[in-house]
Structure 1
């Protein structure tokens, strides 16, 4: 062992001295140049970590639905680790024969190959070649594991004696810690095989739709020849056959093919047999079968994990298994319902739905869907925007009256109390455009001038809720919207919300929706004029039927690391948004919308027979409309809005279309979408009643 280490050290010194002199002669021809070159090389070596023996290669991650089916793969390098026993012996022998036939004789550095490389450099040729498999492993490790960008990769692959010295030093260190078979296995798991294909398992699947242990002699020889020339060989089938045959010849010449020349000659006669199309693994959200449906959910998973400290670039290299809460049945039902009401190629109109399962310890997101497919081709009805989970620029209309009702109830109003609902009302508190008095009208001149709060929630008169907003206080109504679930929406920057700030260098200061509404005394808040997240609307329903317990709308069931161990992700805790008695009473207050209110026709047409809370909403110029509904078992929200570059009102005909004066309402497309989807979602759930109202809030 001592003699072996001494011989290896001599080899390294010889290479370093030779390469150092060459480098000094070329780059530093003046006196003292050789010493400067040596110092730079030493610095390079010291800067390289010495933990190659414990390397953890980049691995892609898999996102699963609640049933364990993949909905997305995410990777920088398509790689799966396999053991030596899971590799064909042909492959291991082929790679040694063609790349380093003295692999089992040297200690990581082969003097003959090294001197050949240095000689080539002196002759003005590339310094490539001459590397042992161990040195190649080091080079690839530096390029594809440590380097995180193209600049770092080029630096790791540069042709220079300095790189050779670095590789030699690390190769000797590696061979002092690992056996030959272990190094060879690691090499075959690490190296690229063209494009994003790394390691033999991905290569065997991609090119031959097989596993590494089942590779034939011909297939193994092709992959061994592919390692250092993937771009050339994949472009030119003739060259690929030639390269495969060269590998077979090298196996015979070096004794790495026990069956001898007859086996090689037989393998040469075989076609390459590369599958067409290549069996590549889909990458990123939306690229799996059905990904146009599940892509929205996948996107929300990435956004959610990024906020918890696991960014996308870490997911693409960390080898995680991400078990999500996505229910494929609910997702498909929501997708079909959304597209059934608004075809995916409908110009300028999006129909979006989110479904959340209530609970007192978590609110699991079950479905995120839209009439649009998830993708990048608008001509095919696709969008890459996360429509169901992002904050849209349109409001939810009268759905926001839920927050005014909650604030009023918290101030002492009961659901059976009579409230004033005049046909027209001019506020003495809020101002309209141009600093004029804020005047609001009801959608219809017919009807009573007084009704119970419960009936008002079902009939949705505007005037009554502006009056309630005045009495409860706008700030309290806004705070209630945040408490019940509109947390990200209200934190978002107001789309037109620039507030003069004389102390700032800029002429304006951007503010949140919450601050803009409070500071500006925006009385129309109760009419749902601000930007809205469909997912957060659904979660408001989940909060109300969870006895007032708010939980973050979570898409995550569990995250496992590459070793199958749970990752501790600290999701935001649940909190009691409102007291249970108020939540139960408000749910009862919202229970007449599907019986005698604005959603009753849609409920009847769908033959809906379950008790639920519901609230429709429509913005004033009909550019958006929505519906929020929840049973004790499931909550959901739908928003239909103009999603073109130049939003226009929406008309509801046999199929919705953009028009000059809209007539869409929350009880039309949005409610119909909700009931169609939720009939399927509730199919196997037993009937459940909403809890009774508390006497204090009746």
Structure 2
């Protein structure tokens, strides 16, 4: 085993230090002699060479984070494989884009998909020497310093440097080390990192690739990231079909996305657009006649800001997102940032018809419901008595109540006062979609509780594919999806009753008499009789086939079938067909009049 001799290593270290010190002293003496003996122009050349050498040494020290003084910089790996949030897209079975999932709404495009109009406008506005420099425009830097000395501040960042700021977030995601804590040095360190990374990008990517990355990365405001989303958001066009006046508006917007936003500040945006157009005139991209003509055109927006809730099949999209959570976790993917392409079985045409059918039928159902109850409150128990404190108990689960409870602890009167205080609020309306009104929180709960709800799903029998999915009457008002929620199935449970009958040997053509059936049961530990009736309250006494009884949802015949096959057989059939909820083996299951809820 080799022994570690600390004295020997210390001695060697001291020797190396003295050797380097002697070499540095010798170099310094030679440098001073060279400088003092040289003529004035050689002194200038030596000074310039020295400055450049020291500056390069400084940049190398920044890049390697020498002695942890400067903080980390973007690595070669991150430059080779830059990461940026990209929206995931959801497609229907007929190839239509039905929605997106995103945190930053960005969809990349290729260089060939970008109009030369936009490229020329960008370069001549943001970086006119883009094709001549290698990431740093020293002419622009010196001009900026000169203007700053005159008190006229201006930027000198190239498109490549702006790409570094946008893509790698050098000024926010990377520290500036120990020196960055000193006043005045933080900006210098950040700027140095931008220069270094810009030069690296110029080494690894072509000018066309840099332009494409920049236009796919930059923020245009209004939650529009990248040129494709921006062109669609502001003008409902594509980067390939953009015009000069539209390109000038978007490029002008980059200087300040709020100040020059054409929707928020149209006058500022128009002035800035015309400045960009005038710049194109000076660079002979536009003729005088073209400039004069374009300058007179007002900004014509076709504004449509996109959110996660734009598009079609909103309930279905939420179900897909929830269903993909486990897969994303297992595969280290993020549905909101990784630009996934998600292909589904939903048919956009069937989905459109389904939503229209739900809207049409639920209007009828709601009208009948309102006519039946009139001004009476519909929240009643089985004895038709209004449930006391029903609305008050619902109010306690709202965000408004919880906020007031925190603000006024142990002050129920204050809470009730503000809950009953009218204020501006949007509520659902069949004719308007949403209606802006003045109403109290309590009255809004009473209003919304009077609406009927539904769930609609169309499944292809041969494959089990979902072709249409509607979770309720209005997604913006009720995001709780009734398709996948646990609900009392009611007469839809008769499917399992008749399926159990077919399994036991019955035929759809078998006949039964529509008559009341008495079933002896145990209720609250005591013998009792259960006598179910049809929806109209009686029985016709007619003979009808099981097929006809099932089609007309005749309760009395469903109960007869259940009594013949036995309740345990119905429960087994329901579970075999996908019902996962525990079911009570009681006669009422034949009509699903239980308090339990079913799911599959």
Q: 1:425 to 1:115 in 2, by over 3 A?
A: farther
Contact 1:78 1:202 in 2 (8 A): yes
Q: 1:130 to 1:155 in 2, by over 3 A?
A: farther
Distance in 2 (CA, whole Å) between partners of 1:485 and 1:166 is 60
1:409, CA displacement in angstroms? Answer: 5.9
Aligned pairs for 1:602-617 within 5 A:
none
SS at the partner of 2:343? strand
Q: 1:91 to 1:352 in 2, by over 3 A?
A: closer
2:591: which partner in 1? 527
Contact 1:79 1:201 in 2 (8 A): yes
SS at the partner of 1:363? coil
1:183, CA displacement in angstroms? Answer: 0.8
Aligned pairs for 1:173-192 within 5 A:
173-192=200-219
Q: 1:455 to 1:339 in 2, by over 3 A?
A: closer
Contact 2:88 2:341 in 1 (8 A): yes
Distance in 2 (CA, whole Å) between partners of 1:133 and 1:297 is 41
Contact 2:87 2:340 in 1 (8 A): yes
Cα deviation code 1:371-413 (max 9, x no counterpart): 723323xxxxxx33323x22243x1224324434545665677
1:320: which partner in 2? 341
SS at the partner of 1:391? coil
5+ long unaligned stretches in structure 2 = 1-50, 177-185, 368-428, 431-447
1:366: which partner in 2? 467
Matched, 1:384 2:479: yes
Contact 1:135 1:171 in 2 (8 A): yes
Contact 1:407 1:480 in 2 (8 A): yes
1:97, CA displacement in angstroms? Answer: 3.3
1:221: which partner in 2? 248
SS at the partner of 1:314? coil
Distance in 2 (CA, whole Å) between partners of 1:114 and 1:320 is 43
SS at the partner of 1:373? coil
Aligned pairs for 1:542-621 within 5 A:
none
Contact 1:61 1:74 in 2 (8 A): yes
1:303, CA displacement in angstroms? Answer: 4.1
2:12: which partner in 1? none
Distance in 2 (CA, whole Å) between partners of 1:112 and 1:16 is 22
Matched, 1:240 2:273: no
1:264, CA displacement in angstroms? Answer: 8.4
Contact 1:60 1:78 in 2 (8 A): yes
Q: 1:198 to 1:445 in 2, by over 3 A?
A: closer
Counterpart pick for 1:105 among 100, 118, 132:
132
Counterpart pick for 1:270 among 296, 300, 316:
296
Counterpart pick for 1:478 among 571, 574, 599:
571
Matched, 1:424 2:486: no
Deviates more, 1:154-163 or 1:57-66: 154-163
Distance in 1 (CA, whole Å) between partners of 2:126 and 2:175 is 17
Deviates more, 1:186-195 or 1:453-462: 453-462
1:460: which partner in 2? 555
1:232, CA displacement in angstroms? Answer: 0.6
1:203: which partner in 2? 230
SS at the partner of 1:198? coil
2:199: which partner in 1? 172
SS at the partner of 2:70? helix
Taking structure 2 as the reference length, the TM-score comes to: 0.59
Q: 1:110 to 1:412 in 2, by over 3 A?
A: same
2:406: which partner in 1? none
5+ long unaligned stretches in structure 1 = 1-6, 21-34, 144-151, 377-382, 491-512, 537-698
Cα deviation code 1:615-640 (max 9, x no counterpart): xxxxxxxxxxxxxxxxxxxxxxxxxx
1:231, CA displacement in angstroms? Answer: 0.7
Distance in 2 (CA, whole Å) between partners of 1:70 and 1:213 is 19
1:187, CA displacement in angstroms? Answer: 1.0
Q: 1:451 to 1:365 in 2, by over 3 A?
A: same
SS at the partner of 1:368? strand
1:206, CA displacement in angstroms? Answer: 3.5
Distance in 1 (CA, whole Å) between partners of 2:109 and 2:538 is 74
1:467, CA displacement in angstroms? Answer: 4.2
SS at the partner of 2:481? coil
Q: 1:421 to 1:137 in 2, by over 3 A?
A: same
SS at the partner of 2:77? coil
1:357, CA displacement in angstroms? Answer: 2.1
Distance in 1 (CA, whole Å) between partners of 2:572 and 2:73 is 59
Matched, 1:45 2:73: yes
Distance in 2 (CA, whole Å) between partners of 1:154 and 1:55 is 16
Which structure would you say has the larger RCO, counting Cα contacts within 8 Å and 6 or more residues apart?
A: 1
Distance in 1 (CA, whole Å) between partners of 2:67 and 2:216 is 34
1:403: which partner in 2? 496
Q: 1:435 to 1:167 in 2, by over 3 A?
A: farther
Number of paired residues? Answer: 443
1:229, CA displacement in angstroms? Answer: 0.8
Aligned pairs for 1:124-163 within 5 A:
129-143=155-169, 155=173, 160-163=187-190
Distance in 1 (CA, whole Å) between partners of 2:295 and 2:344 is 47
Distance in 1 (CA, whole Å) between partners of 2:531 and 2:76 is 72
Contact 1:78 1:198 in 2 (8 A): yes
Contact 1:420 1:464 in 2 (8 A): no
Larger Rg belongs to: 2
1:72, CA displacement in angstroms? Answer: 3.3
Q: 1:69 to 1:455 in 2, by over 3 A?
A: closer
Larger proportion of strand: 1
Matched, 1:356 2:459: yes
1:442: which partner in 2? 532
1:233, CA displacement in angstroms? Answer: 0.6
Matched, 1:283 2:313: no
SS at the partner of 1:175? helix
Q: 1:422 to 1:89 in 2, by over 3 A?
A: closer
Contact 1:411 1:472 in 2 (8 A): no
1:175, CA displacement in angstroms? Answer: 1.5
Distance in 1 (CA, whole Å) between partners of 2:272 and 2:538 is 84
The alignment yields a C-alpha RMSD, in angstroms, of: 4.9
